[in-house]
Amino acid sequence: MKRPQLSTVRPARAMAGLAMLTVLLTGCAMGSAAPGNQPSGTSRPAARGTAARAGTAQSSAAQHGADRGSTTAAGRPAAAAAPDNKNAPGFWYGTDSATIPITSKPPYREPAVSGSPPYGGYIGMAGNWARWSGCGGILVWSSQNSAAANTNHSTYHKGIGTGVYWFMAGPGVDPHYTGTTAEASAWGAAQAAKTLRAIGGLKVTYKVVWMDIELPGNAPDYTPAPDNGWNNVYTSTCSGKVKTAGLPASLDRADLNGYASYLTAHSSYTPGVYSAPQIWGQIFGTGSASSIPTIDEWTYTDATSHISPPPIGWCVPGTSTCAHFFGGVTSSSAHAVMWQWSGGGGVTNGVGDFDEIDTNHVR
């Protein structure tokens, strides 16, 4: 996931009346064609609540073309194998998005990283809101890396196997936009329903499904909207033209909540968020809408262009490069789960996206 960053910073927005939205992430038990291969070197654009009532999310999602009558849970994801990483107990090294060739024999080793640690997992794009909406936009999926990760997981009991993320849209590109939290929640639920349909065509073993919430900037291969509809309202879903500048953080949060609620109500997967502190603040501000202390997180800040040495814990040894989380989650939290430590956030390394995965709390 390599993303150009927007140059302007959105001011923090104080939010009122969101007490009803703070219930989500306390006690969360926590579809169309399958993605194809992307060539090595193809990667994502720069930079990834409290849920609405499940019944509301379900019925609203149907309005947006979500599966009707989907009341049974999706296939239950398998638990991660016990780690054997002696340098960082409980942590695995993995990759995401575009293919990074793995040349070792099974059990497979993490490519390009010094010490050749076990290959601990792959996270790929299950879907892209723009592609789903008919606006174009690529999918970034590696069948090779997914297969290697799943082999290590199922045969050799190493790592998490395969996980997925959804390149998510904000309320501003919703074709049914009304400016209400109910509609924003329905838009989020519709995206979750599409994610579950896409997962049905993949072999996914990791239980966290990531909402990729970011401000991609000018990334026409991925999206027509430089902010993915999180900060502005567009004239139409695919136009790329701003109709109204600015969006209340309450609508953004309702979108997130709708997705999380639908996912947990219709599957055994757990919702997580991929983003970074600076992007999170530009979208959700610093008020109650930004607070997600009980949802799993995957951050891409800080990032380094150096692949080796790999991190130990949440820092790269001998450097000041450490993981920084957002929304009230710190590196000591059980919800600090993944770190894209090289290749993301516009920091290139010439190879691809590398991740560290903590399975001490989430497997």
Residue 13, in any domain of the structure:
no
pTM equals 0.81
Taking a C-beta distance cutoff of 8 angstroms, is the pair 340, 98 a contact? Answer: no
Residues 6 or more apart whose Cβ sits within 8 Å of residue 244: 232, 233
Residue 11, in any domain of the structure:
no
Residue 8, in any domain of the structure:
no
Tens of each residue's pLDDT in the chain, 363 residues: 434 333 333 333 333 333 333 333 333 323 333 333 343 333 446 543 222 323 333 333 444 433 323 333 344 565 555 555 666 788 999 999 999 999 999 999 999 999 999 999 999 999 999 999 999 999 999 999 999 999 999 999 999 999 999 999 999 999 999 999 999 999 999 999 999 999 999 999 999 999 999 999 999 999 999 999 999 999 999 999 999 999 999 999 999 999 999 999 999 999 999 999 999 999 999 999 999 999 999 999 999 999 999 999 999 999 999 999 999 999 999 999 999 999 988 899 999 999 999 999 887
Q: What is the largest CA-CA distance in the chain?
A: 56
Residue 260, in any domain of the structure:
yes
Residue owning tokens 């309702």:
254
Taking a C-beta distance cutoff of 8 angstroms, is the pair 120, 109 a contact? Answer: no
Residue 339 dihedral angles phi and psi, to the nearest 5° = -140, 120
Domain hosting residue 124, numbered range: 19-358
68-75 — which CB contacts under 8 Å span 24+ positions? 70/193, 70/196, 70/266, 71/266, 73/266, 73/267, 73/268, 74/196, 74/199, 74/200, 74/266, 74/267, 74/268, 74/269, 75/204, 75/268
Residue 303: give its domain's CATH number: 3.20.20.80
Task: Say how far apart CA 319 and CA 9 lie, in whole Å.
Answer: 28
Residue 274, in any domain of the structure:
yes
User: Checking DSSP bridges between strand 353-358 and strand 232-234, what pairing results, if any?
Assistant: unpaired
C-alpha 11 chain-centroid distance: 24
Residue 63, in any domain of the structure:
yes
Tokens for 275, please give them: 């983003």
Residue 248, in any domain of the structure:
yes
- Number of domains the chain is built from: 1
Residue 363, in any domain of the structure:
no
